[in-house]
Amino acid sequence: MNAPLPLTDTQLREVQALDAAHFLHPFTDHQALARRGARLITHAHGVHIWDARGQRIIDAMSGLWCVNVGYGRQALADAAYRQMMTLPYYNAFFQTTTEPAVRLAARLCELAPPVGGRAFTHVFFTSSGSEANDTNVRLVRRYWDLMGQPQRKIIISRRNAYHGSTVAAASLSGMAAMHAQGDLPIPGIVHIEQPHYWALRHEGETPADFGRRAARWLEDKILELGPERVAAFIGEPVQGAGGVIIPPETYWPEIQRIVERYGILFISDEVICAFGRLGHWFAYERFGTQPDLVTFAKGVTSGYVPLGGVLVNERIARVLIERGGEFNHGYTYSGHPVACAVALANLDILEAEALPQRVRDDTGPYLARRFAELTDHPLVGVAESCGFVAGLMLVRDKATLQPWPEAWEVGMICRAHCFDSGVVMRAVGDRMIIAPPLVMTRADIDAMIACIRTALDKTWAEVQQKAAAMHSK
């Protein structure tokens, strides 16, 4: 590993000043960033990252849900180097192709099991999940045009979904804070509620009953809009950025019944959930759904280089190819040979180390057990996981799940203590979430849980102090 020396305070402050002066960060309050100075990450290995002060931190978020095979994998660097020296770039427009893109498309189609007797036969490549979902919007509308039903335009998504940040993908996303900026969503995209049991259950309602009721919000919306106007439904198998919202087991089968009943297309956005994260190559295998289109990105290259795309089922591919002529859509980097070469090497690692199976049969169940133990902590209301994503709720009252006052930002307090305690967790409101690298061993999981416990203790101490101070006022 190429491990740089820790920075002196002066060196660190210089980088932070340049950062604040010139770098517009994604999803960041820049005044707060300038006040505090950005946390500078300098290097990484395995499941650990190091900051500029030399502190080693367990990366329980896999970067941003992507570094599935862990950091420092020589094979991925070698694949990129070899491809750059052979052919660093060539495009896939105008009837040309490159071998890494061809091999990767074929390999992904082979890895993705057929659904309802129909295979995934084609792949459209992009450089990100956002671009892949933009591609989906164009693909499903093109499909219905070619099918002679051009009035089928509307795509139904869910509140609190995250499908990316380009104009169409941000519209598909169901984040109120995103829609509040820039006149989103664009026309033709509507949202239903998310299957969030803890937030939306009725008193005494079982998860199974809730799951069916939540799925029927889709049917209600289809009937309200008129089925003949609905093009597709899009959903993340487990909502990620929305706070790791794991739907009850009854949810997806009911959604599948509804999309079939009304003949609408089903897009499974597996940008987080594919490539082993839920213990399978693809998340639709975990939930038994039958998507027509599968969005992927992040884990396909373990984040070493940008790559995304859409797996296209033969139902759609056939119509597009046999009736469509030219599909007027594409990116300069669609099928980028370096990205595809890295993806192939990444799939080799996932396969050789049997990471999807390991998560399914061994480390996933172990994580589930260790993570659930955190519910004995006074701050933790619910702690749940699915494969290698997990989330816990920080609550004021464990019995009633009463939340902390929003203004206290208990999630943010906890996130800061996680860093001090040597682990990266993400805060979504007061839900603390993780998506660890799939290479984590049982020992790594134990170390991660110990750090999380330390962070929870520190958070507990801080909020107790705060509550006492409020009380004495």
Summarize as ranges the residues that interact with ligand PLP (CB under 6 A).
65, 128-130, 133, 162-164, 236, 240-241, 269, 271-272, 297-298, 308
Minimal distance, residue 279 CB to ligand PLP, in Å:
17
Among residues 44 and 300, whose Cβ is nearest to ligand PLP?
A: 300
Among residues 137 and 413, whose Cβ is nearest to ligand PLP?
A: 137
Among residues 65 and 275, whose Cβ is nearest to ligand PLP?
A: 65
Token pair for 134: 């933009």
Q: Give the separation between CA 71 and CA 129, rounded to whole angstroms.
A: 21
Q: Give the separation between CA 194 and CA 258, rounded to whole angstroms.
A: 16
Among residues 240 and 247, whose Cβ is nearest to ligand PLP?
A: 240
Classify strands 120-126 and 426-428 as parallel, antiparallel or unpaired: unpaired
Bridge-partner residues for 311, per DSSP?
123, 294
Minimal distance, residue 168 CB to ligand PLP, in Å:
11
Minimal distance, residue 229 CB to ligand PLP, in Å:
25
The residue among 465, 370, 462 whose CA lies nearest residue 417 is 462
Is residue 151 within 8 Å of residue 226, measured between CB atoms? Answer: no
Minimal distance, residue 26 CB to ligand PLP, in Å:
9
Token pair for 406: 């929003």
User: Which residue's CB atom is positioned nearest to ligand PLP?
Assistant: 129
User: Given CA atoms 303, 309, 313, 318 in this order, what sign does their dihedral have?
Assistant: negative
Among residues 6 and 429, whose Cβ is nearest to ligand PLP?
A: 429
Helices (H) and strands (E) counted in the chain, each on its own, are 18, 14
The residue among 402, 454, 394 whose CA lies nearest residue 430 is 394
- DSSP H helices, 87-229, are 99-111, 129-146, 167-172, 176-179, 197-200, 207-225
Minimal distance, residue 239 CB to ligand PLP, in Å:
8
Among residues 16 and 62, whose Cβ is nearest to ligand PLP?
A: 62
Distances (CA, A) of 29 to 14, 19, 91: 20, 13, 37
Minimal distance, residue 90 CB to ligand PLP, in Å:
23
H or E stretch including 189?
A: strand 189-192
Among residues 65 and 266, whose Cβ is nearest to ligand PLP?
A: 65
Minimal distance, residue 170 CB to ligand PLP, in Å:
10
